[in-house]
A and B are shown apart, each in its own frame.
Chain A
Amino acid sequence: MSAGHVAPKSLYYSVFLALLIGTALTVAVAFVDLGAMNNVAMLTIACVKALLVILFFMHVRWGTRLTWVVVASGFFWLLILFSQTMSDFATRGWIAGTLK
């Protein structure tokens, strides 16, 4: 049974350490002015941290394919929300006479 997988404690400690390093890295990067790349860097680190939590702490790494699909669908729908809304707002005023 997939949900019954027992991960070694050492794995949890490693993930914990990686999450702390990620946090320190995010704070450090925030003090360096990289322009728009600041956002890219901080969101990349946040996504990697979230992925570590989901895969190991939340046991999805050992989950069934059905669990993978459900988890992925949640984030996929979130992307639809962001991309569709911003494709509207970011392009307003591109054509003369449309609402800004």
Chain B
Amino acid sequence: MLKGHAEHFPGSIHQPPLASNVDAIQPGVHIEHPHHPKLQHHFDDMGQQAEASTLGMWVFLVTEIMFFGGLFMAYLLYRWQSPAAFQEASAHLSIGWGGFNTAVLIFSSLTMALAVRAAQTSESSRTQVGWILITMFLGVVFLGVKAIEYTEKFRDHIVPGPYFDATKWEHPAGVEMFYSLYFCMTGLHALHMIIGLGIMTWLAIMASKRTFNAEYYTPVEVAGLYWHFVDIVWIFLFPLLYLIGRHYHHG
């Protein structure tokens, strides 16, 4: 703005623009380029807008990496301090449930990618909503399994706190620390899943109103990035929590 101003009025930026000049430029912009209703006025075109949204989402995901990163750091440190206790505690987790949930999340990532693709290729709103609903269903299955697992931990007095049963472990202090981290990490992950389901509900409603097509699908793309990120967190949580005690021997 200031640059253009200076070009028109060399030597003085205090001089106001001529009225005729403004008339010549301002109305023409809108008449010559009727733009997409979803284009915000501060972007040049839909491509730039999509690029900015995607980049913004990635910046948010970087903060999410550091958010979960703190917990992974705590895990690394306490495992370094008490490796035997972590193996003993990990051996108690169900590899069947953990593996099943990993497959469910990977599958949901595929259906999410296909939901984004359906919007990208302007497929019918039925198809778009379908992929979104399948993804949500898989998310609910994941949370259901998590609920079963949590229930078992409460029943068996493995949850850290006053009801933690220290008598059945060889290294109770380290085991309790492992399960504190287990609940923090999987709990924060599950919270992200629940928020994700909320976002997907909104997405499904938008898609059912034929909002998304090849020209405008940024919300689907950005929600997809979030969903895939949550999947990535689980890709690391599964081996670190469930698989480190498989060859643990008492003694």
Which residues from chain A sit less than 8 Å from chain B, CB to CB?
1-4, 6-7, 9, 12-13, 15-16, 19-20, 23, 26-27, 30-33, 38-39, 42-43, 45-46, 49-50, 53-54, 56-59, 63-64, 66-67, 70-71, 73-75, 77-78, 81-82, 85-86, 89-90
Contact = CB atoms under 8 A, between A and B. Distances in A.
B55 interface: yes
Please name the 8 residue pairs, one residue from A and one from B, whose CB atoms are nearest each other, closest first: A74-B62, A1-B47, A30-B243, A42-B239, A16-B110, A33-B247, A74-B65, A30-B246
Nearest to A29: B243
Contacts of B51: 1-3, 64
B76 A86 contact: yes
Nearest to B56: A70
Report whether over half of chain B's contact residues are helix, strand or loop; otherwise say mixed: helix
Contacts of A42: 239-240, 243-244
B55 A7 contact: no
Bin the interface of chain B by size. Answer: 35 or more
Given A12-B117, A38-B244, A53-B231, A58 B225 contact: yes
A57 B109 contact: yes
Interface stretch (B30-38, B100-108, B201-209): B100-108
Given A67-B55, A89-B80, A46 B239 contact: yes
Interface of B: 47, 50-51, 54-55, 58-59, 61-62, 65-66, 69-70, 72-73, 76-77, 80, 95, 99, 102-103, 106-107, 109-110, 112-114, 117, 120-121, 214, 221, 224-225, 228-229, 231-232, 235-236, 238-240, 243-244, 246-247
Contacts, number: 135
B50 A4 contact: yes
Nearest to B249: A33
Contacts of B70: 81
Contacts of B61: 71, 74
Given A30-B95, A50-B232, 7 more contacts: A1-B50, A6-B117, A6-B121, A16-B109, A57-B112, A78-B66, A81-B70
11 contacts: A6-B120, A13-B110, A16-B110, A23-B102, A32-B247, A57-B110, A57-B112, A59-B221, A64-B51, A77-B62, A86-B76
